[in-house]
Chains A and B, each alone.
Chain A
Amino acid sequence: MSAFLQTILTPDFVFTVIRVMTPILFAALSCMVFTKGGIDSIGIEGIMLICSMTGPVFSYLTQSAIGGVIGAIVTGILLAFLFGYVTLQLKAVEILAGIALNTMASGLTIFVIYYVAGEKGSTQSLFSPVVPNIEIPVLSSIPILGDILSGHNILTYLAIILTFVLAYVFYSTPLGLRIRSVGENAQAAASVGINVMKYKYITLAIAGTLAGLGGAFMSMGYVSFFSKEMIAGRGFIGMAAEAMGMGNPFGIFLASGLFGIADSLAVRLQLLNFPTQLIQTIPYMITIIAISIYSYKRSKREKKL
């Protein structure tokens, strides 16, 4: 037990948790935007995967990390629009279109890097600048706190900042209000003269941007290259974190943190001969239980009313 505590009660461990939760936070925030706009978010996994590929590719082509991140964001937006076109205009079932997007992503990424990098597995052979980690002045010199909070990737800080920005946008600006109303009751929104389609596409653009950033972090921050299937379910975990956080940006932040903790724990405990895989099931089980309890309470309340 003391070995266990020694492992997790270190600044190093908390630092890892923050690093590991970053892509999940991006994914969950993206899912939050999708959900608020009334669009199914199952395609997030595929959008992130493709963006994690286009990030390094654009970074290589422009030889700049910013170019790579912008490339990933633009890809994210375009894919979200493609999803929007297929579901809103061609009237495909959202969930099926999302699954199709995910399927396409796992093929397309390999297909593209085969031609760009000449190999199927990864873009390791390409020299692509990555997004740097930064030491924060003053903060970095504080013991413990500095070790935990300083020295992260720029995108990690961006994810945390965006949590606050999105909280602000959705709860304190007209844009957020309109997106939420379009997502929840499009008829009511239309009855006061709001252009529903316009706000659906704005939703898609924001969600696509966030997914793009999440993808870029994976291949330009977490590691320095794209490798196939590298999102590995983080988009889906984002969906779950969104559901667990009940659509609240800060709840989502905490839920993402929980997944980060579980993931980091699994790695640490492996070293201590704990059954790693069993520990990895915990966040998923908690999600299932939390969603069930929440849904049960809500349906009870609705029945009562």
Chain B
Amino acid sequence: MKAIAKKRSKLGLVEALRTCVAVGVSLLLVCIVVFIISATPGAALFDFLIGPLTSLRRFGNVIEACVPLMFTGLSVILLQRAGLFNLAMEGAFFIGSVAATAFALTLGLPDKLNLIVALIMASLAGAIVCGIPALLKVKCNANVLVTSLMLNYVCLYFGMWIIVDFFADPGMSSNYSYAFPEGMLLTKLFPKTRINTGILICAACIFLVWLLLNKTSFGYKVTMVGKNERMARYSGMNIGQLIIGSSLIGGVLAGLGGGVDLFGMYPRFQYSGLPGYGWDGILIAIVARHKAQYVPFAALFLAYLRIGADIMSRNNDIPSEMIKIIQAIVIVLISAQAILSNYRRSIVVQEAKEYEQEV
């Protein structure tokens, strides 16, 4: 009895295995495809798999690319926590950048203070964006998926209006804003790379999200709403508040991500469309199995693949867009319940038997 109580269930392993199988299968497919279509498969695969490790600058690129992915990954974890498909993180990330730009260029505060205020404003803007679909769900029972998708376009055009009509640099193309003051950009941490203090903000956010989800009753409650809304209500929870609350926090993370990415990587606002990091966040959340502590690994996985693919496409005849196909396969394989379901069931049965014998 004691021994078995200590033994951990293998079911967690099945889920981990599912992730590994998905990642493995997709990488294997890449290899096959590369071998079939590339004239130089060996070199291509070397660049893809090892390339990012071959120079400090390249590895720096991987780390830089992680930052926005981690922010949107965290955002998705919170947005989906209460069981809804709120896709507004895409718009929130973008609006975060816009708000950051607007406040950076208008407030005229001392640089560092201005930076902080701009980042706070970016977070607030993100919160408003993600809060709207949640509010409409709670108050009107409107389909979150459709309203959030539409809201992303409102964000895009509204944001573009702000930039083009108020902050566009006449010397550049129309969607480029004036350059930010040097001192407002996030400090670079390592020479030869663009890795900056943004990654520290991100690390703090990961810790805070972990804390929120695992160490506060708010995190616990939101999780329960997502798992069984009826049971949560019966336990005395206020479902509407929790849905809106988790969406607002998800929005803060996406908006802050937009601001941090902007001040960390660019001298001025220069997006010409929605950057797509929100959609990437969905993959990050799935690979991280919706746990904040795994988000860095998931982001590292995707960022590494992206930089590897970039290097591969520069030196070889394989387009880097191949990565998107991998992303798709990973999402499907991890979310497909039928895959490994027999294995899962056999473990359940076996553990039940083991348990009966020992008791």
Residues of chain A at the chain B interface (Cβ within 8 Å): 42, 86, 89-93, 95-97, 99-104, 106-108, 110-111, 114-115, 120, 233, 236-237, 239-240, 243, 275-278, 280-281, 284-285, 287-288, 291-293, 295-296, 298-299
State in angstroms the CA–CA spacing of A275 and B143 once bound together.
30
| A115→B328 contact, CB < 8 A | no
Stretch at the interface among B147-155, B179-187, B220-228: B147-155
**Given the known A-B contacts A110-B319, A120-B319, A291-B147, are A101 and B328 also in contact in the complex, defined by CB atoms under 8 Å?**
yes
Set A106, A108, A236, A291: member contacting B142, Cβ < 8 A:
A291
- 16 A-B contacts (beta carbon < 8 Å): A90-B337, A91-B337, A91-B341, A92-B335, A102-B279, A107-B323, A107-B327, A111-B325, A120-B319, A236-B149, A243-B146, A280-B153, A280-B157, A288-B150, A288-B154, A292-B140
B160: interface (CB < 8 Å) = yes
**Given the known A-B contacts A103-B324, A107-B325, A280-B157, are A86 and B332 also in contact in the complex, defined by CB atoms under 8 Å?**
yes
State in angstroms the CA–CA spacing of A89 and B283 once bound together.
22
Q: Which residues of B contact A293 (CB under 8 A)?
A: 140
Set A96, A120, A275, A295: member contacting B332, Cβ < 8 A:
A96
Write the nearest CB–CB distance from A172 to chain B, whole angstroms: 28
| A107→B150 contact, CB < 8 A | no
State in angstroms the CA–CA spacing of A287 and B152 once bound together.
12
State in angstroms the CA–CA spacing of A91 and B340 once bound together.
11
State in angstroms the CA–CA spacing of A280 and B143 once bound together.
22
Q: Which residues of A contact B336 (CB under 8 A)?
A: 86, 90-92
**Size band of the interface chain B makes with A:** 35 or more
Q: Which residues of A contact B161 (CB under 8 A)?
A: 275-278, 281
Write the nearest CB–CB distance from B228 to chain A, whole angstroms: 17
| A284→B335 contact, CB < 8 A | no
State in angstroms the CA–CA spacing of A111 and B147 once bound together.
32
| B143→A111 contact, CB < 8 A | no
| B140→A108 contact, CB < 8 A | no
Q: Which residues of A contact B286 (CB under 8 A)?
A: 96
Q: Which residues of B contact A295 (CB under 8 A)?
A: 136, 140-143
**Given the known A-B contacts A89-B338, A291-B147, A298-B141, are A281 and B282 also in contact in the complex, defined by CB atoms under 8 Å?**
no
B339 and chain A: residue at smallest CB distance: A90
**Given the known A-B contacts A284-B154, A285-B154, are A291 and B324 also in contact in the complex, defined by CB atoms under 8 Å?**
no
Set A92, A115, A298: member contacting B37, Cβ < 8 A:
A115
Write the nearest CB–CB distance from B131 to chain A, whole angstroms: 13
| A103→B327 contact, CB < 8 A | yes
Q: Which residues of B contact A108 (CB under 8 A)?
A: 321, 324-325
Q: Which residues of A contact B324 (CB under 8 A)?
A: 103-104, 106-108
B331: interface (CB < 8 Å) = yes
Set A92, A233, A240, A299: member contacting B146, Cβ < 8 A:
A240
Q: Which residues of B contact A110 (CB under 8 A)?
A: 319, 321
State in angstroms the CA–CA spacing of A99 and B284 once bound together.
13
State in angstroms the CA–CA spacing of A120 and B150 once bound together.
29
A303 and chain B: residue at smallest CB distance: B141
B354: interface (CB < 8 Å) = no
Write the nearest CB–CB distance from B329 to chain A, whole angstroms: 8
Set A111, A239, A292: member contacting B136, Cβ < 8 A:
A292
**Given the known A-B contacts A107-B324, A111-B319, are A93 and B154 also in contact in the complex, defined by CB atoms under 8 Å?**
no
| B321→A239 contact, CB < 8 A | no
Known: A96-B282, A284-B151, A296-B140. 11 other contacts (CB 8 A): A91-B337, A91-B338, A96-B286, A100-B329, A100-B332, A107-B323, A275-B165, A277-B160, A281-B154, A295-B140, A299-B140
| B140→A99 contact, CB < 8 A | no
| A296→B142 contact, CB < 8 A | yes
